[in-house]
Structures are given as C-alpha cells and as structure tokens.
Amino acid sequence: KQEVTQIPAALSVPEGENLVLNCSFTDSAIYNLQWFRQDPGKGLTSLLLIQSSQREQTSGRLNASLDKSSGRSTLYIAASQPGDSATYLCAVPSAGYQKVTFGIGTKLQVIP
Amino acid sequence: GAVVSQHPSRVICKSGTSVKIECRSLDFQATTMFWYRQFPKQSLMLMATSNEGSKATYEQGVEKDKFLINHASLTLSTLTVTSAHPEDSSFYICSPRGSDQETQYFGPGTRLLVL
C-alpha cells in the first residue's frame, strides 16, 4: 500500500525567501508524481507533473524534482510571494494509474 | 487545462436527507471518474472509481449504498449522499480522466454540511 508523507506540515516564511517542500513515498512503482496547490475551501490546482522517467520539471518560480529510487520529490519555490500562501499537496498515481495517493499537504504562509 | 465543474459548490442539509452532487467535464470526455472526500486537516481520500457505463468500485470503508455514483455519460457523473448524517460533512471533489490523459484534473469541490 502506497503511503505518501509530506514534510513539513506547516511552514511560515518572509516574502522573498526561497523554500523547499518535501514529499516521500513508499512504493517506487509510480506512474508519475504531481504537485498541487489548494486554497482554503477550494479545489486543487495542478502545478507540476513529473513523469516517472523524468528527474525534474520547472514552471516559472517552481521547480519539482523526483528521485524515484529513494522515493522522494521536492518542490522548490523561488522568491516566495504572499500569493503563494496555500496548502501544497503531492499526489502519486499507482503504476497502473488506478489509484492516486495524496500526502496530507504542507500549509505554506508567506508573510509580506 | 481541462475544465471541470461541480454543482452545488456548497450545500447545507438536514440529517436524513439526500444530496446529489454533479460533476461535469466541459471540454473532454471523462472515461474514468474518481470521487474524493477531504475531512478538515486531512488529505484527500479516494472514495470510489467509476468508468463510464459501468458500476463504481468503492474503496474499503466506503458504503456503496450510501454513496451512490452514476457515471452514465462521458461528461457527467453524480454522487448522491443518501440519508446524510453530520459525520458525512466533508469536502467532496470529483476528478475526471480521459482515456489518453496523464494529468489528473479536479473539480472545484462541494462543501457539504449536514446539520
């Protein structure tokens, strides 16, 4: 059974700081790995998708890496802004893409 | 990205009533639909998976007679919470996927409060 852990559970940083969010998973037989953000009371917004054969993906100030063998992914946010405040979730579909397991998320607060 | 809508976005109901949540994929055909729920301060948990035209497969611990899923078309799926109770209060999110898609898309969610 896949288990996904995200550390830290909460993070508060001043505006402009670079930060790293961590996601680890127990079963390396994954289809891909996705990072999402969730704003309070709202659905999920996809941020980055990394295929199981890739090592990283970049979109603007966001960079996600994947080390499948060690069961780890990181989301790097450069020059954080107050608008980045949200909960960040990583999601790991099984190899057959029949099930997606989510981490509990990291709640980020960027202080102006 | 794909556009997914859910209706209603919020619903408050009395205990014992039934609530239907609609999920529509507006610009692609959803061959598979995943339904998730999220309790406060917890991650999303998969409730059931359905393929168009067939019965849903429910996760362990999810009562199929209580959470009725209908996936009759490639653009519409419904989740009906029957005889809702306060413990069913949660955030329900649908997630459709097309046969050739890799990215998981999500609806905006429906917040259910059962009094």
Q: Which are the contacts of B13, defined by CB distance < 8 A and separation ≥ 6?
A: B19, B84, B112, B113, B114, B115
pLDDT tens readout for residues B62-100: 999 999 999 878 899 999 999 999 999 999 999 988 776
Residue contact B106–A89, C-beta within 8 A: no
Pairing of strands B4-7, B19-25: antiparallel
pLDDT, tens digit, 9 for 90 and up, residues B3-14: 889 999 999 999
pLDDT band, residue A101 (cuts 50/70/90):
confident
pLDDT at B101: 60
**A31 near B CB under 8 A:** yes
Examine residue A8 and say whether the peptide bond preceding it is cis (omega within 30 degrees of 0): yes
Average pLDDT over residues A73-99: 89
Distance from CA of B23 to the nearest CA of A (A): 13
pLDDT at position A31, please? 81
- In this complex, the residue of A42, A99, A103 whose CB is nearest that of residue B43 is A103
Residue A46: pLDDT band (50, 70, 90) is confident
Where helices occur in B1-115 by DSSP H, the ranges are: none
Average pLDDT over residues B48-61: 88
| Cβ–Cβ gap A99/B44 under 8 Å | no
Q: What is the pLDDT of residue A98?
A: 64
**Chain A, 32-51: which have a CB under 8 Å from a chain B CB?**
32, 34, 36, 41-44, 46, 49, 51
Averaged pLDDT of chain B:
89
- Mean residue pLDDT of chain A comes to 91
> Dihedral sign, CA of A12, A15, A19, A23?
positive
Whether pLDDT at A96 is above 80: no
